[in-house]
Each structure stands twice: as structure tokens, then as C-alpha cells.
Structure 1
Amino acid sequence: MANGNVNVSWKTTVIISTSSLCDEASRILLAQHHKIRRSGSILHSSIVFPLSGTAFLLITPEEFPASLEEPELFKRIEKFVQVHRNSFLVLQAPVYGEKEWKILSSLQNRFLGCNLRVIPAHSTADIVKGMLIIAKATSKPSVETLRQQMSMACAHITRNSPIWEVLQKIQL
């Protein structure tokens, strides 16, 4: 994963809504040999990685009205955030112009302080790659490995810090 590629040997089960917005992502995940479970009971246009506890809601700029204050869409997003503890909203647009940045800003302002992270994406391939990186990093075996590596990195930085040496010399 050092080169930025997702480890292809990692396979997981993915629950995908029956929404047509998720069809291309489903095809990409299937091509990578992940187990796909289609469900009409999860929120429209959402993708859930049960082993890592992460969920992604796919939204396009076309779903937002001109006023950016559509109560139905925000109710759907709020329900998504309430259901999933580790939630990501992916705003997919091939090009990010003024409208897309306003939508992104509106979403971030509206959901500031909650557990929703907003991710801009250009293509479905980018979305799938990002989802897999996040899901793998937060899945049980990988999260323990990352925690251990971070702990070792912190210890190494502390041991080799010139500030730490100065503090030891003045006996603090």
C-alpha cells in the first residue's frame, strides 16, 4: 500500500443499496472479487462495509436543488448519520465548479461537529479506491497494525528528537 494502490488480496463483504447510482461501484467491486450483497433495506445510494463499520452515501450535484436547502435530502443525510457511526458522504462530480464547491461547503457547514465526513470525488473508480482504502484501514486486523506502527513511529520520533535530548541534558 506504500505506492498508493489498494492491496488486491484483501477481500471483504460489501452491502450495496439497490440504487442505480451504486451499479458501477458494484461492478468494480465484483471485478476485484469482493462479496457483494444487494439490499433494499439500507438507505438509498449507500454502500456499507460491515467488517470495518464504515458506510458511504453517494450523492451527485444533480440531487441538490438550486437553493441548497432541500429538506428531504438533508433528512436522508441526517438519517444516514444516525444509523452509521463511521459515515462518509461522497459527492461525485466529474468537474468541480462553483456549484459543486457551494454544495460541498453547505454540506460541511450543515454537518459540522457530527461524525459525517464529506469527500469530493470525480469518478466511480476514485470512489471505490477511496472506500476500499478507508474500509481496509478501519477493519479489525489492519487497524491494530496501524495503531502499532503509529505507536512505534511516535516512540522513534520522541527518541530521536533534539528537543528530547535537550530536556534530558537539563534533567527535566
Structure 2
Amino acid sequence: FYQNHETIRMLRGQQHRIRFTDSVEAGAFIFPLSGIAFLLVDPQDPQHQESVLVERLSKFVQVHRNCFVLLHAPFNGPKEMDTLSLIQHRFFGSNLRTLPVRSTVDIFKGMLAIAKATSKPHVDNIRDQLSLARAHIIEYSPVWEMLRDMIDD
């Protein structure tokens, strides 16, 4: 199922390399340059009984440091909300983040946005911009000026 998923076709359409191996969980998308792994979960899939889903996600979290579960929920029915609640409660405080997605386009856009934002050149650029913003705030903030004046007195 996952090898023929529309998301795979979209990724290949933008020249992303896709490889399938037995060592990677079915439904997993791994972006090695950013160190991010995504696992696609469909709450309507009969294979995703609570115990099976928790075991599958536990393995995924153990293998991948930076991981997201893409909870494919085209609508917010009781099954989708129960699955979301289960994941959030069971994996609270872990390195697993949950991204509810409604469509294949949402899956595609979400994965690429996160992978791009966490890849090496972009992370360095964001870090530099934050440092410049912090320096600007400290230099021109009236609060910092007041504190400097209080220290000088």
C-alpha cells in the first residue's frame, strides 16, 4: 500500500529519492539530510488496533531521534480523535510529535516544510537570524536601556 501511496508519487515528481527496505517501517518517510523521520498512520486502517499502533510507534520512536507521526484524518470523527488522544497521552514527553493531516497534499507539504526547515543550511540560517534579532532587541530595547541606566547610577 505505502509504496503506491500518492505521496510517494508526489515526492518522486519533485526528484526526491525514495528507497524501500525491510529495515524501515512500512509507511515511514526518512529525510537523511535533516535527520527527520515521518510515519504515516491512518486511523481507519484495521491494522491499527490500539496495542499494535502503540507497539509500532514505540519501535519508531526508539529508532528515530527526530520523528513525527502523520495522522491521516480526512475528518474529525470519534475514531480519529481517539487515535490522536491515544498517541498524545502515550507518547507525551517523548521525541514523537504528532501532525494531523487531512489530505495527501497536507502530508506532502508538511513533510517537506519540516524537512527543509531542519536541514543543515536552513537551520544555520535560522539560527543566525535569531542571533541577529536577539542582539537587535538587546541593543534597542527600552527595558535594556532602563536596566543599563539603573546599573550606571
Deviations for 1:42-81, whole angstroms, at most 9, x for unmatched residues? 011110001111000000111378xx97222211100000
The separation in 1 between residues aligned to 2:52 and 2:21, in whole angstroms, is 21
State the alpha-carbon separation in 1 of the partners of residues 46 and 126 from structure 2: 37
1:74 aligns with 2:54: yes
Percent identity at matched positions? 49
Counterpart residue identity of residue 56, structure 2? R
Contact 1:22 1:46 in 2 (8 A): no
- Residue among 42, 55, 58 paired with 2:40: 58
* Aligned CA-pair RMSD: 2.0
Match of 2:89 among 106, 109, 118: 109
Q: Judging changes above 3 Å, is the alpha-carbon distance between structure 1 residues 38 and 77 closer, same or farther for their aligned structure 2 residues?
A: same
Aligned to 1:130: 110
The answer to whether the 8 A contact 1:61-1:93 is kept is yes
Give the TM-score taking structure 2 as reference length: 0.90
TM-fit CA distance, 1:160: 2.2
SS at match of 1:33: coil
- Which letter maps to 1:130? G
Q: Does 1:89 align with 2:69?
A: yes
Cα 1:166–1:48 shift into 2, 3 Å: same
Partner of 1:151: 131
In the alignment, is the contact (CA less than 8 A) between 1:21 and 1:58 conserved in 2?
A: no
Between the aligned partners of 2:150 and 2:46, the Cα distance in structure 1 is 60
The aligned amino acid for 2:8 is S
Q: Which has the higher helix share?
A: 2
Question: 1:104-130: CA deviations, max 9, x gaps?
Answer: 122111001110001111011111111
4+ runs deviating over 6 angstroms: none
Tell me, which stretches of 5 or more residues in structure 1 are unaligned?
A: 1-18
Aligned length, in residue pairs: 152
TM-score (norm: length of structure 1): 0.80
